[in-house]
């Protein structure tokens, strides 16, 4: 599946600092922060329909809960739920993560070139804004090309509004999104360990233990002390 870098029209909506950095599905190449120490299980509000809550259990250490919005993007929500229940997103990495902008995932190839075996979707652009925690579909320059890739916003970028299909919003666990490894691609990419719909009552997997905090000053002091204690010839 050949994917283009960006739509020229989409570039017209981007700020100069983010020109060329919009969420997209990529063309094939030629020739070929610290997480909180505790994990808290997420429970939806009684007013939320568990059929429209997406859980992403991330390798960064916890469960992210996303409220899906079928009222404004029914076909996209149905696609996400279908692929989630197939296990499509389990193990998929975040292949493109731009600090201060967004984290993109949903490509089984891990390159930005891939998608599912399902047909591309017709655009369902709506009035939901691209603010912190917004979950929206990536696409090519063709508005009707979203398939399986999506992105989660770190910070607002309202110039994306009505040019990408928003289908949900993080309501719990944003700290685990903030901890996703940055890079295009990241050197050590973070992953979706498991995706599930709340109505299916899947327990979260065993999350990796949080990394111990390091103190560069203390490490340097210990090194100097060790050198001072070595016998001199």
CATH number at residue 14: 2.40.100.10
- Give residues with Cβ within 8 angstroms of 155, minimum separation 6: 100, 101, 132
Q: Is a pLDDT exceeding 50 seen at residue 69?
A: yes
Cross-strand pairs, 150: 105, 137
pLDDT digits (tens, 9 = 90+) for 202-221: 999 998 776 665 667 777 77
Name the residue among 157, 150, 7 with its Cα closest to residue 76: 150
Looking at residue 24, its pLDDT comes to: 66
2 is a domain residue: no
Please give the average per-residue pLDDT across 64-70, as a whole number: 98
3 is a domain residue: no
Q: Is a pLDDT exceeding 90 seen at residue 56?
A: yes
33 is a domain residue: no
Looking at residue 107, its pLDDT comes to: 97
Q: Percent of the chain scored above 70 by pLDDT?
A: 76
130 is a domain residue: yes
What pLDDT band is residue 225 in, cutting at 50, 70 and 90?
Answer: confident
Q: Is a pLDDT exceeding 90 seen at residue 179?
A: yes
Q: Is a pLDDT exceeding 60 seen at residue 226?
A: yes
220 is a domain residue: yes
**Domain range enclosing 150:** 8-28+38-229
Looking at residue 221, its pLDDT comes to: 74
- Is the model's pTM score more than 0.85? no
Q: Percent of the chain scored above 90 by pLDDT?
A: 67
Q: Is a pLDDT exceeding 50 seen at residue 81?
A: yes
Question: Which residue's structure tokens are 């891939």?
Answer: 114
Mean pLDDT of the chain: 84
207 is a domain residue: yes
Looking at residue 26, its pLDDT comes to: 52
- Give residues with Cβ within 8 angstroms of 83, minimum separation 6: 89, 116, 118, 148
Looking at residue 30, its pLDDT comes to: 40
C-alpha distance across the termini of the chain, in Å? 66
Count of domains for the chain: 1
139 is a domain residue: yes
Please give the average per-residue pLDDT across 145-168, as a whole number: 98
221 is a domain residue: yes
Buried b or exposed e, range 76-90, using 16+ CB within 10 angstroms: bbebbbebbeeebbe
Name the residue among 208, 212, 205, 182 with its Cα closest to residue 60: 208
Q: Is a pLDDT exceeding 50 seen at residue 100?
A: yes
Name the residue among 184, 205, 226, 168 with its Cα closest to residue 62: 205
């Amino acid at each position: 599946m050949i994917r283009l870098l960006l739509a020229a029209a989409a570039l017209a909506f981007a700020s100069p600092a983010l020109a060329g950095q919009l969420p997209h599905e990529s063309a094939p190449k030629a020739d070929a922060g610290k997480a909180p120490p505790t994990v808290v299980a997420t429970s939806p509000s009684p007013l939320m329909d568990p059929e429209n809550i997406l859980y992403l259990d991330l390798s960064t250490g916890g469960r992210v809960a996303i409220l899906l919005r079928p009222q404004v993007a029914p076909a996209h929500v149905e696609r996400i739920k279908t692929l989630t229940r197939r296990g499509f997103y389990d193990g998929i990495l975040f292949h493109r993560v731009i600090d201060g902008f967004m984290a993109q995932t949903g490509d089984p190839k891990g390159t930005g070139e891939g998608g599912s075996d399902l047909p591309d979707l017709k655009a369902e652009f709506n009035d939901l804004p691209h603010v912190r925690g917004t979950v929206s579909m990536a696409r090519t320059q063709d508005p009707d090309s979203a398939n399986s890739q999506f992105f989660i916003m770190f910070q607002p970028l309202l110039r994306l509004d009505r040019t990408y299909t928003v289908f949900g919003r993080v309501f719990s666990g944003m700290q685990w999104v903030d901890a996703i490894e940055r890079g295009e691609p990241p050197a050590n990419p973070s992953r979706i360990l498991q995706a599930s719909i709340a109505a299916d009552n899947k327990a979260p997997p065993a999350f990796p233990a949080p990394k111990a905090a390091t103190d560069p000053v203390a490490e340097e002091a210990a090194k100097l002390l060790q050198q001072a204690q070595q016998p001199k010839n």
